[in-house]
């Protein structure tokens, strides 16, 4: 087990090094997140951030939604790939996190494409009327099922939903906590949902890509 962990952390470091670097502003954002928040590891990081940017680029998404802004790292990674008229609506419940994120959105040449909605994500998602091309769900695991049910009907055919933490620290193999059980149940439901096709990438804590047919 120790060897597994060692191997996987070395591979994670190698993947990080062999992935395009994030812009310097995002490196500053990481530094500030480390000094001014309690759980800086919530940032999705270089590999997943660059993956989000690449997916938005490849799908030519224009209308994006994010659940879980935190300090804005993933939002800025998504916004980088949006065209000038593109838009990301990002949901954050904690004013302290939103304040840091908004500071970096204001500093970024891509920040004008981001609208930060402070409050419960379910309220914001319920209010959305425009068809969505791309979603990133990365908060509040207990409500993952609700986010899927709310978002899928609003996503265009060919659009993509990306769920972070789909492996939940490996607990999906033997779910014990409420969160682990919910994530495993949702993975299983999505696997059987004929409206979508999906790929679960075993990178970081698991990234589930769900494409609406
Ligand atoms: C894992 S962090 C998001 C990390 C971010 N996507 C990134 O990569 O930098 C989850 C964030 O979601 C926020 N959050 C938790 N529950 C929420 C809810 N019900 N509605 C909106 N935001 C929520 C938390 O305050 C936290 O900032």
Nearest CA to ligand 1 atom 22: 92
Indicate if the pLDDT at residue 110 is higher than 70. Answer: yes
Bridge partners, residue 164, by sequence: 207
136 vs 9: which has the higher pLDDT = 136
Give 124's pLDDT tier (boundaries 50, 70, 90): very high
Q: Which two tokens mark 147?
A: 């986010």
Give 213's pLDDT tier (boundaries 50, 70, 90): very high
Q: Which domains does the chain have, with CATH numbers?
A: 2-212 (3.40.50.150)
**Ligand 1 close to Cβ of residue 44 (< 6 A):** yes
The reported pLDDT for the residue numbered 8 is 84
The reported pLDDT for the residue numbered 3 is 57
How many whole angstroms separate alpha carbon 178 and alpha carbon 81? 35
> For 57-95, what is each residue's pLDDT tens digit?
999 999 999 999 999 999 999 999 999 999 999 999 999
**Ligand 1 close to Cβ of residue 165 (< 6 A):** no
The reported pLDDT for the residue numbered 6 is 65
Closest CA to 69 of 107, 28, 111, 27: 111
- Cα of 71 vs centre of ligand 1, distance in Å, is 9
Closest CA to 65 of 144, 145, 127, 125: 125
Please give the full DSSP string across the chain, using - where no structure is assigned. Answer: -HHHHHHHHHHHHHHHHTSPPPPHHHHHHHHHHHHH-S-GGGS-HHHHHHHHHHHHHHHT--EEEEE--TTSHHHHHHHHTS-TT-EEEEEES-HHHHHHHHHHHHHSTTGGGEEEEES-HHHHHHH--S-EEEEEE-S-GGGHHHHHHHHGGGEEEEEEEEEE-TTGGGGGGS--SHHHHHHHHHHHHHHT-TTEEEEEE-STT-EEEEEE-
Indicate if the pLDDT at residue 2 is higher than 60. Answer: no
Count of residues for the chain?
A: 213
Indicate if the pLDDT at residue 148 is higher than 50. Answer: yes
Mean local confidence (pLDDT), 113-141:
98
The reported pLDDT for the residue numbered 38 is 95
**Ligand 1 close to Cβ of residue 187 (< 6 A):** no
- Cα of 43 vs centre of ligand 1, distance in Å, is 10
The reported pLDDT for the residue numbered 87 is 98
Mean local confidence (pLDDT), 134-148:
98
The bridge status of strand 87-92 relative to strand 63-67 is: parallel
48: Cβ contacts below 8 Å, ≥ 6 apart: 74, 164, 203, 204, 207
How large a percentage of the chain has pLDDT more than 70? 97
The reported pLDDT for the residue numbered 21 is 98
Return mean pLDDT, the chain.
96
18 vs 6: which has the higher pLDDT = 18
Distance of CA 205 to the CA centre of its chain: 12
The reported pLDDT for the residue numbered 1 is 45
- Cα of 73 vs centre of ligand 1, distance in Å, is 11
Indicate if the pLDDT at residue 172 is higher than 60. Answer: yes
């Amino acid at each position: 087990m120790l060897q597994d962990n060692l191997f996987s952390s070395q591979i994670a470091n190698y993947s990080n090094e062999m992935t395009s670097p994030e812009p310097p502003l995002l490196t500053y954002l990481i530094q500030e997140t480390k000094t001014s928040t309690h759980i800086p590891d919530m940032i999705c990081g270089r590999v997943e951030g660059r993956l989000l940017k690449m997916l938005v680029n490849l799908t030519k998404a224009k209308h994006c939604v994010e659940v879980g802004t935190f300090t804005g790292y993933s939002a800025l990674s998504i916004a980088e790939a949006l065209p000038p008229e593109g838009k990301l609506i990002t949901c954050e419940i904690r004013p302290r996190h939103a304040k840091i994120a908004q500071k970096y959105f204001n500093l970024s040449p891509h920040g004008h494409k981001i609208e930060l909605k402070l409050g419960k994500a379910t309220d914001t998602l319920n209010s959305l009327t425009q068809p969505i091309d791309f979603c990133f769900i990365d908060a509040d695991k207990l409500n993952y099922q609700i986010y899927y049910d709310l978002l899928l009907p609003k996503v265009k055919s060919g659009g993509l939903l990306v769920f972070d933490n789909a492996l939940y620290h490996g607990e999906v193999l033997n779910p014990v906590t409420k969160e682990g059980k919910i994530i495993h149940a949702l993975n299983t439901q999505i696997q059987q949902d004929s409206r979508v096709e999906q790929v679960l990438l075993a990178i970081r804590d698991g990234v589930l890509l769900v494409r609406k047919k």
